[in-house]
Each structure stands twice: as structure tokens, then as C-alpha cells.
Amino acid sequence: MTAATPITSVLLLRLAGPLQSWGENSRFNRRETRPEPTKSGVVGLLAAALGLERGADLNALTRLTMGVRTDHPGTLLRDFHTVADYRGVPLKQTGVNAKGTQKPTGPAKYTHITYRYYLQDAVFLVGMAGEPDLVAELAAAVARPASPLALGRRSCPPTQPILVGNESAALLDVLSSHPWQATGNGRAHYLRGAKPAFVDLPVTVDDDTGSDTRNDVPVSFGLRDRQFRERRIRHTTVRIPTGITDPDPAPDRNTTVIGHDPFSLLDW
């Protein structure tokens, strides 16, 4: 007798805003962003919705299977910063001594130059698949979050309610069936003046046999013991109707603006 297939639900989130930033290998004076949401960023968003403390156990959230559909990739923004102490004293290091006090810079520095990278006007459809009771709890928390929700950084609020819903289906089936979320300039980015019946959208999904990796699964969000581990992923595409009522005539009604691009599967 074979074991029954576990019943799973998918929490569906629309992550869109003027700015998003999903860091993975960032340092103090250079904070980069990945081209799509990280698992640590989405788990952090769900933890905030639940009202979890920083040192809380994250295992239930990190066990969720994550899939990201890029409905509009947005454009990259580099924000230039200078940091100084208004009192005119030397800046401190990011490291601390045994007493928990920040060490002074040596030689003394009075100004730091820093860079922050953001995605502008990007739109993502994120699915988090797991046990139905947990997914239902998360859906309720995202609808009425205990703490403000942000798109990777606190300075990046979403433009509208994040929760799309939760569905009892396979993760890729949900990401393949939900309507295209890009609007305005996002749609124009893909359509480029044409009126196709369908678009092909890139998807990244957790897969233990995947050919790529991300080091973005949070072990702890503690202030002094932030730790992450690796996950395996794979890249694919899904074909989504554009919703255009009078698409361009074509011999193949599945004609899309974005054709097969092998480099997109390598995340290039």
C-alpha cells in the first residue's frame, strides 16, 4: 500500500510597490537586491504578520515550499548615501566589543559612503505551499498583520493588500493559472506595442533536485545571531493569458511576445 499524497494549500501573495529590495549577500555599505523575492524576505514578512519575536522558531515557515512568478521585473535603482554623526564625532564600527558596545573606527572616519539597490515598480506573484491549517492561519495574519509588512526592507511598503488568497492545489498549478498581475508600464514592458494572446513568465520554485541554489533560508533573525542556510531551486516558465480581448491575429493563437529564452533559465 502506498502512502497517501499529503494535502497541501498554497498561500498566494502579490508583492508590488514603488520599491522593493531583496538582499542575500549584502554588507553594511553596499546593500544589493536579487531580481526576485528571497525566501528570507518572504518568511520575514510572514513572521511580521504573525507578530513573532526576532528569536522565534522559524521552522514551520521555512518548511513551506516557495514559488515566485515574475509578472514584471521592474528596473534597478541605485540610491547613493552618505552617513555621518550629526555631533561631528567619528563613526563607530558595525562590530561590537565584549560589553556589546560598538568599536570606534580606526583610523577615525567621519563619513561613510554607502549604496542601496532597489527594484522599481516590480510585480511578483509568490506562492507558499504547505499544510492547510498553517496556510489558513498565515492568510488570516497577512490580511490583518500584527506588524507593518514591507517588501524586503522597512522603507519599501506594498502598494495594495498583499494577500491574494489561498488555494488547495499544486504550487505550479496555482502559479500557472492565476491571472497576470502586471499593469500599466509593467504590461507595456512585455507587450512592446503588440497585442498577444499569451505571455511566458519566468518562475523560480523550491526543488531538492534543482540545478541552482540560494543561501537565503533563515535559521534565525536574532540581532546577534542572524544565520541562513542553502536551498535548491529550479527555473521554469508558465504561459499566462494576457486578457486582451482583441489579440493580434496569428497562425498560432499561443503566439507570445516573449519566446523561449534559454538564458532566462540560468537567471541571466
The domain ranges of the chain are 9-74+120-266
How many Å from the N-terminal Cα to the C-terminal Cα in the chain? 45
- Give, in order, the Cα–Cα distances in Å from 214 to each of 41, 218, 242: 12, 11, 31
Rounded to 5 degrees, φ, ψ at 203 are: -130, 135
Per-residue pLDDT, 82: 85
pLDDT of residue 184: 82
Q: Closest Cα partner for 231 from 249, 247, 219, 245?
A: 219
pLDDT (0 to 100) of residue 115: 86
Predicted local distance difference test score (pLDDT) of residue 147 = 94
Residues paired with 67 in a beta bridge: 127, 205
pLDDT at site 35: 94
Supply the pLDDT for residue 88: 86
Report residue 14: phi and psi, to 5°: -105, 115
Neighbours of 64 (CB within 10 A): 23
Per-residue confidence of the chain (268 residues) as pLDDT tens digits? 344 446 689 999 999 999 999 987 766 677 889 999 999 999 999 999 999 988 889 999 999 999 999 999 999 999 888 888 888 888 887 777 777 788 777 788 888 888 889 999 999 999 999 999 999 999 999 999 999 999 999 999 999 899 999 999 999 999 999 999 988 877 877 787 788 888 899 999 999 999 999 999 988 876 666 788 999 999 999 999 988 888 777 655 555 555 445 555 554 5
Question: Which residues does residue 80 pair with via DSSP β-bridges, in sequence order?
Answer: 115
Task: Tell me which H or E stretch contains 138.
Answer: helix 132-143
Using an 8 Å Cβ cutoff, are 69 and 173 in contact? no
C-alpha cell at 11: 498561500
Fold of 9-74+120-266: Alpha-Beta Plaits (3.30.70)
